[in-house]
Amino acid sequence: MKQLLRRRSLTGATIALTLLNSLIAFADERVQGYVDSARMSSLDSEPQNWVAPGRDQKGTYFSPLETINEKNVSRLGHAWSYKLGTYRGQEATPIVIDGVMYAAGIWGRVYALEAATGNELWTYDPQVNGQVARNTCCDVVNRGLVVWQGMVYVASTDGRLHALDAATGKRIWVVDTIEDKKLPYASTGSPQIAKDVVVIGNAGADLGQGGVRGYVTAYDLKTGAQKWRFYTVPGAPGSAPEHPEMEVAQKTWDPQRAAFVKGGGTVWDGMAYDPELNLLYVGTGNGAPYDQRKRSPAGGDNLYLSSILAINPDTGRLVWHYQTTPGDIWDFTAVQKMIQADLVINGRQRKVLMQAPKNGFFYVLDRATGELLSAKNYSYVNWASHVDMKTGRPAVTKQGDYYTGPKLLYPSWSGAHSWQPMAFNPKTNLVYIPVIDIPNFWVDMPNSGGKLKFVNGFFTTAGITPDGAFDAKTLKPLFGTLPDLKQIKAPRPGALVREVLRAWDPVKQKVVWEQETSNGYRSYDGGVLTTAGNLVFQGRGDGDFVVYAADTGKQLKRINTGSTIMAAPMTYSVNGTQYVAVQTGYGGTAIVTPISPKSAAATRVNENRILVFKLDGDEVPKPPLRNDEPFPSPPKSDATPEQIKSGEIKFNQHCAQCHVFSPNVTPDLRRISEGVHQNFKEIVLRGQRAFMGMGRFDDVLTENDADEIHAYLISEQANAYNLEHKQEEKLKQRASKH
């Protein structure tokens, strides 16, 4: 009766307005790709969908689906696959909403597919100029997109943020997020929705003489209008601070630093948002240059490098911050993805933020206040002995000081954990971390005794991995004296170089189980998915897609795909059938090193695909085998030995960032054709092949520099050609004897 009386008391206008709002809400629910805060808060009611990069608002990479479980996962097989049409690194995790899959590929391309069949609905090409590839330290990768209220948001490599109609792929708006086009800025991370704005950062703190200055920018969801910009490090010495936080940061930097130093602190990946606290969490990157003596000669913490920032998305103002690596000199970024959880710590329920940044310590913070709750090393670490729980600061060891000579440091510049997503299972209360248990020699190049003093991508330092391809004698002329590999023993059990999938208890701060995934070489294993079916899924560099029991780590299934897998898998359901999907493709930071002989990309074409699995599926179709052509006969050269040696140094300074003498995602320049030889300077200096990703270098290289680099490449091509022919002759001689 009360409800009836209340309804009768409503005016006709109120009733009409109520009905109109209901119709709008109903229509919104039918819009393709419609996700809002209400839907995000009730995802448990729709386990079939994977609506965000980490599935949910908390970024757990956990799915409540359990049709595929530990009892039947042995039946897992191929359901369908989709060729992306590219051959580079794939680092994104697809999103599935109401039967439609949205995936991001290299350059920021977008693909919309039927999730049950893989049939293409639409694609979007952001039309990035290949010149911008020069602005990426680590391939033209993209780490994902977001879907919100019927729109798809994705960043393209050139730093533009695109908003697309989720139903058609039609572009609604686009904004350029880069404030200085003369600097090597790029965008490779996924955007983050935070209440009424979409937020994006950038990359570039590893390039040039002084890197770039980091910042994050918030844009209006509907129009793309800029709402605010938060800088992560101060501007040039003497410049006015743009916001109050920069006044605080300036006090931690040397005011006499050189003008070319941009500082770094870029936000190239991990962000998160807590709608209850209305806090946007932003992870920041390394210093630029790495060497603090050049970046900030007087020292200092250099805020807000390698930090976690909690920002109010309404105002763009800082609420709290925690710096994981003060004064960072090791490329120990804190941009790794963050997971939100509610954990009982010391008998008290806490809302926590968890991160495993590059520096090797697993941080649990109170996400409302930034209070440090725990920080234990999840991998072997020797640059610091521990984190002081009173100050929150790491205790740096003598081993961490590479200014006094080359030091073998754990973890390497790759980090004990990098961009590959970790996952949290609320049923086991474990975090599953793809750990990179690898050291490198940090070398202060100007004082090493070697000929190299600068390398683009490392500034005036070098991080050399002592893997199976390491040869101290070969490296000595360039980097000075390094210990021979035979003299080095792993300071912890196992091989010197390995990758490990590790189950970590964030409350007890200890390893529960682990599975070694490589041995002797860096294989670039992928991110992690966990499910309510007591499962953990991970793709590997060797091409295997492996499933483990979430509680014990027991291996339950292994499928060879023939493709290197670096991205994190996801799972979804359509019409009652559960699927597991993952994007495949070798690249990313791997382009700066030779392909591991244990990698799938060493034997098969690096075909980018989306692979989808289901119970009782088929065998996975594999890409074609590699068929590398013989080394072509080199052209004649009258270069002197001195010119060739000079070309070697310049090649390592400017070209080795992307090109290695090995099969890789970028051309092996010992195999260049006669036509490329003839047009070498047009390609290198004037950007003849910029449309293919080979930018022009006439701003840093002279005509003479290009000639010397060319002479060095001709020499290397001749060496490879002659060696190949000698090997062929030996094989012929052996065959004739038999």
Residue 83: pLDDT band (50, 70, 90) is very high
Task: Specify the pLDDT at position 652.
Answer: 92
Pick the last residue of a domain from 601, 627, 653.
627
Is 527 part of a structural domain of the chain? yes
* Rounded Cα gap, residues 359 and 435, in angstroms: 11
My answer on whether 565 and 610 are in the same domain is yes
Task: Specify the pLDDT at position 169.
Answer: 98
Residue 4: pLDDT band (50, 70, 90) is very low
* Cis omega (within 30 of 0) for bond into 304: yes
Whether residue 398 contacts residue 374, with contact meaning beta carbons closer than 8 Å, is answered with no
Is 459 part of a structural domain of the chain? no
The tokens describing 700, both together, are 């840093």
* Rounded Cα gap, residues 487 and 4, in angstroms: 87
Average pLDDT of span 433-443: 96
My answer on whether 680 and 705 are in the same domain is yes
My answer on whether 429 and 573 are in the same domain is yes
Condensed to tens digits (0 to 9), the pLDDT of residues 453-480 reads 999 999 999 999 998 888 899 999 999 9
My answer on whether 538 and 614 are in the same domain is yes
Query: Does the pLDDT value for residue 389 go beyond 80?
Result: yes
Whether residue 695 contacts residue 131, with contact meaning beta carbons closer than 8 Å, is answered with yes
Whether residue 602 contacts residue 685, with contact meaning beta carbons closer than 8 Å, is answered with no
Active site residue 707: no
Is 424 part of a structural domain of the chain? yes
Average pLDDT of span 421-448: 97
Task: Specify the pLDDT at position 30.
Answer: 63
Is 710 part of a structural domain of the chain? yes
CATH number of the domain encompassing residue 691: 1.10.760.10
Query: Does the pLDDT value for residue 11 go beyond 60?
Result: no
Is 21 part of a structural domain of the chain? yes
Condensed to tens digits (0 to 9), the pLDDT of residues 609-640 reads 999 999 999 999 999 999 888 999 999 999 99
My answer on whether 561 and 595 are in the same domain is yes
* Cis omega (within 30 of 0) for bond into 289: yes
3-state secondary structure of 574: strand
Condensed to tens digits (0 to 9), the pLDDT of residues 259-294 reads 999 999 999 999 999 999 999 999 999 999 999 999
Task: Specify the pLDDT at position 28.
Answer: 46
Query: Does the pLDDT value for residue 25 go beyond 60?
Result: no
Q: What is the mean pLDDT of the chain?
A: 93
My answer on whether 608 and 731 are in the same domain is no
My answer on whether 561 and 424 are in the same domain is yes
- Report the domain count for the chain: 3
Task: Specify the pLDDT at position 468.
Answer: 80
Identify the active-site residue in 139, 291, 331, 444: 331
Structural domain of 17: 1-30
Task: Specify the pLDDT at position 14.
Answer: 44
Pick the last residue of a domain from 598, 627, 656.
627
My answer on whether 526 and 607 are in the same domain is yes
Return the percent helix, strand and coil in the chain, to nearest 5.
20, 30, 50
Is 363 part of a structural domain of the chain? no
Is 672 part of a structural domain of the chain? yes
Average pLDDT of span 319-338: 98
The tokens describing 264, both together, are 């770094």
Query: Does the pLDDT value for residue 80 go beyond 90?
Result: yes
The percentage of residues in the chain with a pLDDT greater than 90, rounded to a whole number, is 84
Give the best-scoring range by mean pLDDT among 373-387, 660-674, 712-726: 373-387
My answer on whether 571 and 695 are in the same domain is no
My answer on whether 672 and 592 are in the same domain is no
The tokens describing 576, both together, are 């009652």
The pTM (predicted TM-score) of the whole model is: 0.94
In our burial notation (b when 16+ CB lie closer than 10 A, e otherwise), range 285-311 reads bbbbbbbbebbbeeebbbbbbbbbbbb
Query: Does the pLDDT value for residue 19 go beyond 90?
Result: no
Query: Does the pLDDT value for residue 15 go beyond 50?
Result: no
Query: Does the pLDDT value for residue 738 go beyond 80?
Result: no
Task: Specify the pLDDT at position 728.
Answer: 77
Is 699 part of a structural domain of the chain? yes
Task: Specify the pLDDT at position 252.
Answer: 98
My answer on whether 596 and 694 are in the same domain is no
* Rounded Cα gap, residues 639 and 642, in angstroms: 8
Task: Identify how many contiguous H helices and E strands the chain contains and give both numbers.
Answer: 10, 40
My answer on whether 429 and 548 are in the same domain is yes
The tokens describing 666, both together, are 């970028």
Condensed to tens digits (0 to 9), the pLDDT of residues 203-222 reads 999 999 999 999 999 999 99
C-alpha closest to that of 633 among 567, 707, 537, 724: 724
Pick the last residue of a domain from 593, 627, 661.
627
Query: Does the pLDDT value for residue 355 go beyond 70?
Result: yes
Residue 183: pLDDT band (50, 70, 90) is very high
